[in-house]
Amino acid sequence: MGCIIRRSPSNRPSQALRYIVDDKPKQLDTPNAPHSRAYDEDPVPLRPPRAPRAPPVAQKPLPNPASQMNSSRVQLHTPIYIGTQAYQKENLNEISFEKDDEMELIEQINSNELRVNHLRSGSSGIIPKTHVRIDVDTPLRLAVKESGVIQRCLLHYNVPGAYLIRRSANTPNAFVLSISQINESYNTLTWHYLISINPSNNCFYFSQEAQLQTFVFTSFQQLIADERIRAVIPLTEIIPYSIEFDEEVWNIPYEELIIEDKIGEGQFGEVYRAHWHKGPTITPIAVKKLHISGLTSTIKREIEAMKTLTNLYIVTLYGISQNPTTNELLIVTQLMENGDLKTWLKNLRSLPKYSTLVRFAKDISCGMGYLELRNYVHRDLACRNILLGSCGKKIKIADFGLSTIVSPTDAALRQEAHSQKLPTRWLAPELLHNQASYSIKSDVWAFGIVLIELWLKGGDPYGNEHRAWIQSAVSTGYVHEKPTDCPDDFYESVIYKCLQFQANDRPSFSALRQLLEKWPCP
């Protein structure tokens, strides 16, 4: 642990590094895809295939996805029509299509005409009903695209290999095959495969799976029937048109939870190791028991954030439960076996390998890049809020109690920030005297301090310095010195850039992710 040094033009070059900016998160590709994605067969027996449900009435208004977040029934299906023969449009309001092309119903205009969205081309227009039929066996479930709700539906349906195809929430003009598929490497119960459209031929293909990228399809029915796809992705059955829950979508019945030993404690509650018994399936989970009886704004924010934020580097919310005897509120999440990163580091005999620390940095930047894309600010990024999976390989960002959507015009949120106690050691200069000045660049500063923590093996940034001293030093231009074991180039090119005094001089998480992905590890 070194001292604090003053930032000055003579100490560091004033010219900022130029970063390539990528505006969307990158899902990790193979080596872990099945057969390269380390998929392990779930021992739970499959249910017998269910008969397809009758299609909904075409004229019925489509559900509002947002309204389904707190409902006991999730409508997933919108009517899909398939071309029974090719059709060439006869006027500007119509669209042409080929035999077997899939189209999503927008509205039924009259007994002879439909307005549809042609899925391969993305074009919309009118078609004659005489040239199409409704597809009752379609794998498409286009009424909901939020991956959190989709995950809840897959978990509730509880059939290994059950799947659906939905629109991508993050990538324009793309779809996602979501499936109940265990991935032990990433500690997930579901997996999501991006399906893109090749602009040269308007065909569907798996754009991020090296094993499957060369296969192209003119329809989703053709895609799911292909044996080459089924040899890699363990498809079993398409989930129903709608999923019925006994309670609100996110509620987990208390009797399904078996709570065991305490594994941690935070500001608002204690965390326990537990198991979730869902039919024949038993899932290891973490349960956060909240000290408070009611829902504060902080707890509500954490729950709502976790419902909508689903990413490989974000701790997954499985649902909410309540003890009927004590009325304790329980937040149920995936279990990260090795606990928080700070404690894990401090318990090691020596500093982890350089390559391990760089990988941690990259994974954190991936998770924060996803928050950046969604316009979320975490506001409490620190090693204590980063959790570690089994074998110390995978890390995920947790504790969204102080997170919020970036909204400069939301005066109420920013006023609330004035009254919240934030950890001084991780605060950017602009927040020291005005906590309502937060932005994603404040999180970038905190990320720089997290990197300091990594190289200090979980030690506190600024050592034993008093809170008032840290506030004074940071607000007048001081920056944390390079930890003794941190390489000069990593400090100069990554950490120091995150700790720029002016928020706009700090790189984006997208740029940091790209930089760290290419970072050489000896």
Q: Indicate if the pLDDT at residue 416 is higher than 80.
A: no
Residue 125: name the closest of 93, 85, 173, 78 by CA.
93
Point out which residues pair with 264 in neighbouring strands: 271
Q: What is the band of 421 on the pLDDT scale with cuts at 50, 70, 90?
A: low
Cα distances (angstroms) measured from residue 235 to each of 188, 195, 451, 485:
17, 15, 41, 48
pTM above 0.75, yes or no: no
Enumerate the known binding-site residues.
289
Given this model, what pLDDT does residue 187 score?
Answer: 78
Q: Does 349 lie in the same domain as 462?
A: yes
Which pLDDT tens digit goes with each residue over 295-354? 566 667 767 777 888 888 999 889 889 888 888 889 899 999 898 999 999 999 999 999
Q: What is the band of 242 on the pLDDT scale with cuts at 50, 70, 90?
A: very high
Q: Could you tell me if 498 and 515 are in contact, meaning their C-beta atoms sit under 8 angstroms apart?
A: no
Which pLDDT tens digit goes with each residue over 43-69? 222 333 333 433 433 333 444 444 444
What is the token pair recorded at 432? 């020291």
* Dihedral pair phi/psi, residue 375, rounded to 5°: 65, 30
Q: What is the band of 71 on the pLDDT scale with cuts at 50, 70, 90?
A: low
Q: Could you tell me if 457 and 486 are in contact, meaning their C-beta atoms sit under 8 angstroms apart?
A: no
For the domain that residue 92 is a member of, what is the CATH number? 2.30.30.40
User: Which amino acid is located at 157 in the chain?
Assistant: Y
Q: Does 359 lie in the same domain as 279?
A: no
Q: Does 349 lie in the same domain as 494?
A: yes
Domain boundary among 298, 315, 334: 334
Q: Does 410 lie in the same domain as 287?
A: no
Residues with a catalytic annotation lie at: 380
CA distance 37 to 188: 12
Cα distances (angstroms) measured from residue 217 to each of 177, 205, 206, 221, 311:
14, 7, 10, 9, 27
Given this model, what pLDDT does residue 25 score?
Answer: 34
Range in 38-52, 85-99, 190-204, 489-503 the model is least confident about? 38-52
Average pLDDT over residues 199-221: 95
Enumerate the known binding-site residues for ATP.
289
Residue 120: name the closest of 56, 205, 194, 179 by CA.
205
Count of the separate structural domains present in the chain: 4
Given this model, what pLDDT does residue 49 score?
Answer: 36
Domain that holds residue 115: 79-134
Average pLDDT, the chain: 82
Q: Could you tell me if 426 and 451 are in contact, meaning their C-beta atoms sit under 8 angstroms apart?
A: no
User: Which amino acid is located at 194 in the chain?
Assistant: L
Q: Does 275 lie in the same domain as 217?
A: no
Given this model, what pLDDT does residue 46 score?
Answer: 30
Higher pLDDT, 423 or 167: 167
CA distance 199 to 207: 12
Q: Does 228 lie in the same domain as 199?
A: yes
Q: Does 455 lie in the same domain as 505?
A: yes
Q: Indicate if the pLDDT at residue 2 is higher than 90.
A: no
Average pLDDT over residues 358-373: 94
DSSP, residue by residue, 5-49: EE--TTTS-SSPPP-----S-----TTSBTTTB-B----SPPPPP
Residue 290: name the closest of 319, 339, 323 by CA.
323
